[in-house]
Amino acid sequence: MDPMIGAARYNLEQSTEDYRRSLEGLDADALNWRPAGDEINSMAVLVFHAWSSTRSWLSIALGAPLPDRDRDAEFLTSTTNADVLRAWFEDIAKQCDALLATRGPVDWAAMRKTHARPDPDDPQEVPAAFALLHAMEHLREHEGQMSLTRQLWEARS
């Protein structure tokens, strides 16, 4: 197995478990809660955005077809049913794992076309290695935010 793929699979497994723990036992009110108002992301937004982005960046890294994605809509996510959001999460985590599981060696220097990026100055093509590293670091960044938001939810008075 390509060592970069192996490392990414390990990271993805760890991330999946961490997100699962952050989502466990929460209802829709908790998942939609914004700790400091509308400018702060809820856990529903964080999980939806982080995993949609991960699937996209993994597709870019591995030269797979880009999935449909509406980044702006990800930040409007809310849920009326926590079980539906958890089921969506489990499905997309499996999709991400499948992307990594079905790949052999990758040319990490190959340039790959990205989705439209939020900053128009960001390059529209990136090396495959950048896409893989970005997928993993972005996923972990939002997991930390999820964990903290859950702690704040549980500590509120």
The domain tally of the chain equals 1
Residue 31's pLDDT band (cuts 50, 70, 90): very high
Segment 38-65, tens digit of pLDDT: 889 999 999 999 999 999 999 999 999 9
DSSP 5-68: HHHHHHHHHHHHHHHHHHHTT--HHHHH--BTBTTS--HHHHHHHHHHHHHHHHHHHHTPPPPP
d(CA 5, CA 62): 10
Does residue 10 register a pLDDT over 90? yes
Least confident among 22-36, 113-127, 136-150: 113-127
CATH of the domain at 72: 1.20.120.450
Spatial separation of the C-alpha atoms in residues 114 and 15, rounded to whole Å: 23
- 10-19, 36-45, 134-143: segment of lowest average pLDDT: 36-45
Question: Using an 8 Å Cβ cutoff, are 143 and 136 in contact?
Answer: no
CA-to-CA distance for 155 and 149, rounded, in angstroms?
10
pTM over 0.85: yes
- The reported pLDDT for the residue numbered 54 is 98
Res 102: pLDDT: 72
Owning domain of residue 106: 3-155
User: Do 109 and 4 meet the contact criterion of CB atoms below 8 Å apart?
Assistant: no
pLDDT surpasses 70 at 134: yes
User: Tell me: the pLDDT tens digits for 70-126?
Assistant: 998 999 899 999 999 999 999 999 999 999 997 678 999 999 999 888 888 999 999
